[in-house]
Amino acid sequence: MNGFNTFEKQDKVLIGMSGGVDSSVAVHILQEQGFAVQGAVIRFSPAHEGAVAAARESAEALHIPLHVLDAEQAFETHVVQPFCESYCAGRTPNPCIMCNPLVKFRLLADKADEQGCAYIASGHYARIDVGADGIHRVAVPASAARDQSYMLYRLPQDILRKLVLPLGEFEKDTIREMARDLHLACADAPDSMEICFIPDGDYSAFIRARGFTPKSGRFLAPDGSDLGPHAGVDHYTVGQRKGLGIAAGRPLFVKAILPDGNIQLAETGQEYNTQIRLTRMATPDGGPLAAGDYLVKIRSAARPAPCRYDGCGYVTFPQPVRAPAPGQSAVFYKDGLVCGGGVIDEAL
């Protein structure tokens, strides 16, 4: 069940704001539900000054107080450094997934406690379900097209118990219409598609400017022959077809980035796997994920695929899945609820 409907004024909530349309309209929805709302914008890095300014504008328009929280050191330690290291090792990390439990929601929860707010909130498209066992779990939203439950799978129980997700019942078009009705400056602002701390999308330049040296190596053809050097593993990800810079006479894609820095290429039809191995497992209650049949998403935009989990980190697919990328997460669902997940370590 969804535990949030109408509230008394004394129910105080602290919502994370970015100045974007989703978190801004979420403020209004919370106000309509009876919450006394406070906002918080987090300065994760120097690249976030624009978000701080936009959040100030939204908070002023919505008549709520705004706290500016500094997370630069924690963000550097828990998100930026691991991101760079992972890319240099030939993996494809998802920094938001690690930021959410370790930095963003932890900082919001701490500030909420300081302000006497019983709840925290965000503009994610997801819901919170409270089971008969008392365990709080992330659930899929009403809008399948906007589903962000994947990004929240690592949130622990102490965060989930406080969390309100007001956009879980809405479609994006409705949210934009509400923003226009409220005359918010962000009503028609485009959705951000890049990693927040690399706004120009040039991951390689960002990583190298910080002094990291990604592995170099060679392209290997499907038959194992040498196709020449590549530009560094930070330029590629599993499943990539474009931008390889090679003339093989036929379409090729990245099958695997090998530990020695070489990149194994494959032909169309060879991009599918029937098994993956996971590490760094997480579940809502902190216990092990039970063996059994689930639906699983192997990337945020992927369709859920049927699978069998063995209870020890191995996931088997009755129908092969395309290009599972080490460093991405596999998130398990049952009956629309997030049951847990882990980081893909190897595609088998």
**For residues 309 and 270, is the Cβ–Cβ distance under 8 A?**
no
**3-class DSSP state for residue 119?**
strand
Helix pair angle (172-181, 21-32), 10° resolution: 80
Residues 124, 44: Cα–Cα separation, whole Å = 18
Distance CA 166, CA 28 (A): 10
In the beta sheet, which residues pair with residue 302? none
Tell me which of 84, 88, 99, 186 is the catalytic residue. 99
Angle, nearest 10°, between helix axes 21-32 and 49-62?
30
Q: Please pick, among 84, 117, 186, 196, the residue that the annotation labels catalytic.
A: 196
Residues in the chain: 348
Catalytic site residue 117? Answer: no
Q: Which of 224, 247, 252 is nearest to 236 (CA)?
A: 252
Residue type, 160: L
**Signed CA dihedral, 262, 268, 269, 275: sign only:** positive
Tokens 């704001």 sit on residue: 17
Cβ atoms within 10 A of the Cβ of 3, count?
Answer: 11
Catalytic residue list contains 88: no
Q: How far apart are CA 312 and CA 331, in angstroms?
A: 15
Within a 13 Å sphere around the CA of 192, how many CA atoms are in the beta-carbon half?
A: 19
Catalytic residues, which ones? 99, 196
